[in-house]
Structure 1
Amino acid sequence: MDTTGIENVPKDKPILFASTHANSFYDAIVLHIVFKRYVYALARGDAFKKPIVAKILNVIHMLPVWRISEGRSNMAKNAKTFEKCNELFKQNKQVLIYPEGICKNQTTLLPLKKRGTAAMAFKAWNEDIDVQVVPVVLTYDSFKTFGKRINLNFGKPLQKESFDLSEEVSFSRDFTATLTEKMEPLFNHTFKPVGFLRNAFHYFGWLINFPLYLAIDTFVKKKFGKTIFSDSIWFGVLYLTYPLYLILLIFGLSFIF
C-alpha cells in the first residue's frame, strides 16, 4: 500500500474525506491504517438494522447514513448522524463519506450525489467549523485476488472560502461540481510490475500463510460467493483467525526444530 498527496491532508484541522467507494468496508479499513487519528466512516444505514451488528459497527467508529432507496422514513435519521459528525469536527476528528453514494468495483468516478457530502459541508461551514473536505481516490490492482496492492491519492482540500453559503441548493450544485473536478484527476495511478528480488518478503509471506489463505478463500466463496463484499468478509475472517493461526504455526514449528 502506498500514498500520493498525503501532504494535502492537514494535521491540525477537522477533515471530511470524500472518497471513492470501490471495495465495501475495506475502503474504510485502508484509511484507518494510514492515519494515527481515528477515521469515523459513514456506512449504509441498513447495515445497522440488527442491534448486535450496530454495536460492532459503532465500536469500529462507523456511523449510519440512510439513502432514499432504504426508505424515506429513515431519511430523518441522517440529521442525528450529521449532528454527530459536527461534534466530531469540533474535536478536530476525521470523518469519511462516499459521495458517489454506492459501492461498485470501478476504476472511474461515478456521478456524485448532491446530498450527503454537500449537506455535511454546508452544515459545518455555517456553524463556523473549519472542516477541510479532502478528495480521495482509492485504486486497487485487483478486487478479487489475494495479496493486492493499493494506492491512496489525496487531492487538495475544498475550503469554505471558495463557496457562497447563502443558499443551500445552489451551494450543493457548485460544491458537487467542484468536488467532481477535484476527484477525476486523481485516477492517475498505474501499478508497476514488482519482481521477486524486490518483493521477496511478499512471496515468503505467501508461502507461510498459504494454508490459512486456502481455508478462508474456500469458506468465503462457498458461503458468500464473489460479491462486492468479498474483501470485507475476507478481512473480517482473517482478523479473527490469524492470531490463532500464528500460534498454531509457531507451536508446530517448535516441534520440528
Structure 2
Amino acid sequence: MDFYQFAKSVVFTALKPIYRMEVIGLENFPKEGGILLCSNHIDALDPPVVGITSPRPVNFMAKEELFKLPILKSILPSVHAFPVKRGLSDRQALRTALDLLKQGQVVGIFPEGTRNKTGTLGKGFSGAGFFALKGEANVMPCAIIGPYKPFRRLKVIYGKPIDIAPYRERRAKAEEVTEVIMASIQELLDEHYKKN
C-alpha cells in the first residue's frame, strides 16, 4: 500500500463515523482516462472528503504557502497535491494540471476558487473551462451537501461526466464551458438538497 492509499484509509476511518458520509454516483466515475473533477466548495475539509470518496486518486492544487509548513511540505506531495500561487497566473501549476489530465489522471478543482458558506453555488472562475478545453479530459461534476457537523449526514454526489469534445470542436470559450460545469453541479445540488 502506498502512502496515498494509507492516508486515504486513515482519513476515511476518522471522518466517516463523524459525518455519516453518504456517497452517491460512484458508478458514474470512469475507470480510466483523464478526468477534471469539479466540486462546489463549502468547507476546508472538502479536498480530503473528495479524495477519500473518489474511487481514483485525485491530484489537487493547494496554495503554495502550505508547502512551506514543516509537516505539510512532506505530506502534501505524497497525497498528490501540487502548489499553486494564489492571485497570480501560475504557469507551472497550469502545466502540471494539464500534464496530469493528458496522462489520464484525475485533477480536482473547486471552480468557485474559495469556500462559499452562503449555501448557494457561487460563480465559477474561467480556469475550470480552460482546463476542461485544454486538458483532453472529460469533466466529472461533484456536489457536497453539508453541514459539516458531527453526526449529521454529509453527502458527496458524483454526476455523469460531461463530454467536452463538442465544445472543443467549435472552439467554445472557457467562460461558456465553466458555466456548463457550474450548471451541472447546481443540478446535483438541486436534486439532492431536498432529499437530505
8 Å contact 1:20–1:109 — kept in the other structure? yes
Which residue in 2 is equivalent to 1:33? 52
The one-letter amino acid of 1:138's match is I
What TM-score does the superposition give when structure 1 sets the normalisation length? 0.60
8 Å contact 1:165–1:171 — kept in the other structure? no
The separation in 2 between residues aligned to 1:95 and 1:58, in whole angstroms, is 14
Write the mapping of 1:88-103 to structure 2, written as runs, cut at 5 A: 88-103=100-115
Taking structure 1 as reference, are residues 192 and 100 closer, same or farther at Cα in structure 2, changes over 3 Å only? closer
Indicate whether 1:122 and 2:133 are aligned: yes
8 Å contact 1:133–1:157 — kept in the other structure? yes
Deviations 1:44-66 (A, max 9, x none): 33333446533322122212233
Offset, 1:165 = 5.5
Which residue in 2 is equivalent to 1:201? none
Which residue in 2 is equivalent to 1:10? 30
More helix by share: 1
Write the mapping of 1:72-221 to structure 2, written as runs, cut at 5 A: 72=88, 75=89, 78-114=90-126, 116-124=127-135, 129=136, 131-140=137-146, 142-143=147-148, 145-164=149-168, 171-187=173-189, 188-190=191-193
Secondary structure of 1:41's counterpart equals strand
8 Å contact 1:4–1:152 — kept in the other structure? yes
Taking structure 1 as reference, are residues 13 and 146 closer, same or farther at Cα in structure 2, changes over 3 Å only? same
More strand by share: 2
Aligned residues: 175
Structure with more contact order per residue of length (Cα contacts < 8 Å, sep ≥ 6): 2
- Structure 1 residue runs of 5 or longer lacking an equivalent are 194-257
Taking structure 1 as reference, are residues 51 and 35 closer, same or farther at Cα in structure 2, changes over 3 Å only? same
The separation in 1 between residues aligned to 2:187 and 2:164, in whole angstroms, is 22
- Structure 2 residue runs of 5 or longer lacking an equivalent are 1-20
The separation in 1 between residues aligned to 2:70 and 2:131, in whole angstroms, is 26
8 Å contact 2:141–2:161 — kept in the other structure? yes
The separation in 2 between residues aligned to 1:90 and 1:123, in whole angstroms, is 9
Taking structure 1 as reference, are residues 101 and 40 closer, same or farther at Cα in structure 2, changes over 3 Å only? same
Q: Which has the larger radius of gyration?
A: 1
Match of 2:67 among 43, 48, 51: 48
The one-letter amino acid of 1:15's match is I
The separation in 2 between residues aligned to 1:92 and 1:2, in whole angstroms, is 27
What TM-score does the superposition give when structure 2 sets the normalisation length? 0.76
The separation in 1 between residues aligned to 2:160 and 2:120, in whole angstroms, is 19
% same residue: 28
8 Å contact 1:107–1:139 — kept in the other structure? no
Deviations 1:79-122 (A, max 9, x none): 222222233224322111000011133422111111x2122222
Taking structure 1 as reference, are residues 154 and 163 closer, same or farther at Cα in structure 2, changes over 3 Å only? same
